[in-house]
Amino acid sequence: MRDHPRLPTAPGFWRSPLRGPWFTSVLGLVLLAGITVLFVTGLVSYAAYNPDLSPVNDTTPDKGVLGFYLFAWPAGPVWLYRFTQGVHVTLGVTLVPVLLAKLWSVVPRLFTLPPARSLAHALERVSLLLLVGGGLFEFTTGVLNIQLAYVFPGSFYPLHFYGAWVFFAAFVAHAVLKAPAAVRTVRRRLRTEPESDLVAPHPDPPTVSRRGALWLVGGGSLLLFLTTVGQSLGGPFRRTALLAPHGGPDPGGGPNGFQINKTAAYAGIDAAETGEEAWRLVVTGRTGTVRLSRAELLRLPQHSSSLPIACVEGWSTADQWWRGVRLRDLAALVGYDGEVPDVFVESLQRHGAFRRAALRANQVADGRSLLALSVNGEDLSMDHGHPARVIVPAAPGVLNTKWVARLTFGDL
């Protein structure tokens, strides 16, 4: 038996026979494709919040040039955000084993001595620090957010958003430098691995082949995929999402028996303020303010839309059958007959980041956008936003404000 070097900086310290350019390259190419999709769907998710519309939609101060690509989020197809965010979260979770295996495969390089051979080498190592640190940061904040439901109240978006730009910049630089060689390595297959410092000089005997190790990583990813994807598919698949958070208490059965994000109790909604006597919807616009009781709202023309709820956490419901008053009809009550403006929505809730939201004119104008009073043929339950909630097609769940108290129409 050879002596095992004690320091990770010694070349003989790392002994796994699995390490080598082929293993690293396969994982690297999977991440190249996967992380690119994560970045694009992440930017899209940010745009879906209409962060450039109003400061209440956005807790990311001074996004400056990083907001260059923002656009008016469309109001269709109705499953748009359900799809983009389902992909973002499911793919992110699925790639966790690949990311960890990739980092493991190159960990000896972290300990290379001397720390820098030249200025170029020093710069390369700093960029790798941003790459590895940024990657771990993005995956960790993302997973924490979906598992613990907004662990960073108000601060998750800026952290994850700025982190994404730093990480992706380092990622692009790395991909430009490494991808061509990685493609060549994978094409050459296993038998003719190029010489590399990744290969252990004194490997231990193998317990699994490189190909077998790759199957293990892939199996781990598949398992995570199968136990996560159900939350985005909804319906009966929901039960298969063992790893996904179920968003609070069991919603039970019946017409209101679909996922609840924050309960009325959690949001501090008092039943006394939602009763027929107490509650009035306050609608303000060009021609002044009107106050409507729930009974009066029910006497306005009622419309139906089949729309899902799709949360940033990645879960979504199948389409629910909502019924209520069109937002654009409410705009018409306060002086907007032709062109409708944006609207600022406020709820009865006094604290919490999602107690209010701004919607863009295109969302108000869509005939499927409702101030919903009932769902699936039954009055809204307290937890789903009784006495009235907003529901908008294609939008993130956070724009579907519950327990609405006030609508202020006008360009924001």
Ligand X SMILES: Nc1nc2c(c(=O)[nH]1)N[C@H]1C(S)=C(S)[C@@H](COP(=O)(O)O)O[C@H]1N2
* Integer-rounded Cα radius of gyration of the chain: 26
Of 390, 380, 383, 352, the closest CA to residue 249 belongs to 383
Query: Contact at 8 Å (CB) between 169 and 9?
Result: no
Question: Residue 123 carries which DSSP code?
Answer: H
Nearer to Mo ion, 310 or 327 (CB): 310
Q: Which segments of 67-153 are extended strands (E)?
A: none
Q: How many CB atoms lie under 10 A from the CB of residue 189?
A: 9
Q: Does 63 interact with ligand X (rule: CB under 6 A)?
A: no
Alpha-carbon distance of 327 to 390, in angstroms, equals 8
CB of 328 to ligand X, least distance (A): 20
User: What would the DSSP string read from start to end of 66-84?
Assistant: GGTT-------STTHHHHH
67-96: which residues touch ligand X (CB under 6 A)? none
Collapsed DSSP state (helix, strand, coil) of residue 119: helix
- Contact between 398 and ligand X by CB under 6 A: the answer reads yes
CA 390 centroid distance within chain: 21
CA distance 371 to 309: 14
User: Residues 95, 311, 330, 361: which binds ligand X (CB under 6 A)?
Assistant: 311
Distance CA 6, CA 9 (A): 9
Q: Is 349 in the site for ligand X (CB under 6 A)?
A: yes
| Residues 6+ away with beta carbon under 8 Å from 271 | 382
Choosing from 401, 407, 408, 409, the residue that interacts with ligand X (CB under 6 A) is 401
> Which residue minimizes CB distance to Mo ion?
311
Provide DSSP, 307-329. E--B-TTS-BPPPEEEEEEEHHH
Chain residue at closest Cβ approach to ligand X: 397
Our finding on whether 341 is near ligand X (CB under 6 A) is no
19 binding partner (options Mo ion, ligand X, none; Cβ < 5 to 8 Å by kind): none
Question: Does the footprint of ligand X cover residue 400 (CB under 6 A)?
Answer: yes
Site for Mo ion contains 397 (CB under 5 A)? yes
Query: Per-residue x/- marks for Mo ion, 282-311, CB under 5 A?
Result: -----------------------------x
- Smallest distance from ligand X to CB 347, Å: 4
SS3 217: helix
Minimum gap (Å) between residue 284 Cβ and ligand X: 19
Q: Which is nearer to ligand X, 108 or 393 (CB)?
A: 393
Q: Which does 75 bind (CB under 5 to 8 A by kind): Mo ion, ligand X, none?
A: none
Which of ligand X, Mo ion, none is residue 394 near (CB under 5 to 8 Å by kind)?
none
CA dihedral 195, 199, 200, 205 (to 10 degrees): -110
371 binds, among ligand X, Mo ion, none (CB under 5 to 8 A by kind): none
Interface of this chain with ligand X, residues 235 to 274, rule: CB under 6 A: 259-262, 267
- C-beta of 397: minimal distance to Mo ion in Å? 4
Q: Which is nearer to Mo ion, 217 or 267 (CB)?
A: 267
Instruction: Tell me the three state secondary structure of residue 292.
Output: strand
Residues lying near Mo ion in the complex (CB under 5 A) are found at: 311, 397-398
Residues lying near ligand X in the complex (CB under 6 A) are found at: 259-262, 267, 309, 311, 347, 349, 352, 354-355, 384-385, 397-398, 400-403
